[in-house]
Homo-oligomer: A and B are copies of this chain.
C-alpha cells in the first residue's frame, strides 16, 4: 500500500477500512486486525492506525471488546454502503459532471476510456 502525500495517512486508512467493510473482507461481528497487526502489514505507526480506528469507532462501525480488540459492528456493511452512496450521489457525481462541462469533455469520450463492459451502455443490451 502506498499513501498519497497530500492526505493524512490515518484518513487514507479510514478509506481503506471502509472498502474492506463494504467488500465483506471484514465480517460483521468478527475481529478486525489489531492496530499492531495492521500497522505492521502496512508499514504504518500503530498510533496512526489507532487514530483511524478511533474515527471508525466514532462512526459506530467498530467497537472495542476488552482484551480482544475491535469487532465489526452489525449493520456496518450496509451503513457504510449507504453513507458512501449518499455522499457519492449528492456530492461526487455533481462535481464530476461539473468538471466534465468545465473541461468540455463529452460522455462519449468517457465511454472511449472506459468501454463499459456490461450494462453501462444501454444500446448494448439485447
Contact = CB atoms under 8 A, between A and B. Distances in A.
B66 A103 contact: no
A99 B106 contact: no
A119 B99 contact: no
A103 B85 contact: yes
Q: How large is the interface on A (under 10, 10 to 19, 20 to 34, 35 or more residues)?
A: 35 or more
Interface string A88-114: 110011101101101111111110011
Contacts of A110: 89, 93
A101 to B, nearest CB: 10
A94 B116 CA distance: 11
Interface of A: 9, 19, 22-23, 45, 66-67, 81, 84-85, 88-89, 92-94, 96-97, 99-100, 102-110, 113-114, 116, 119-123
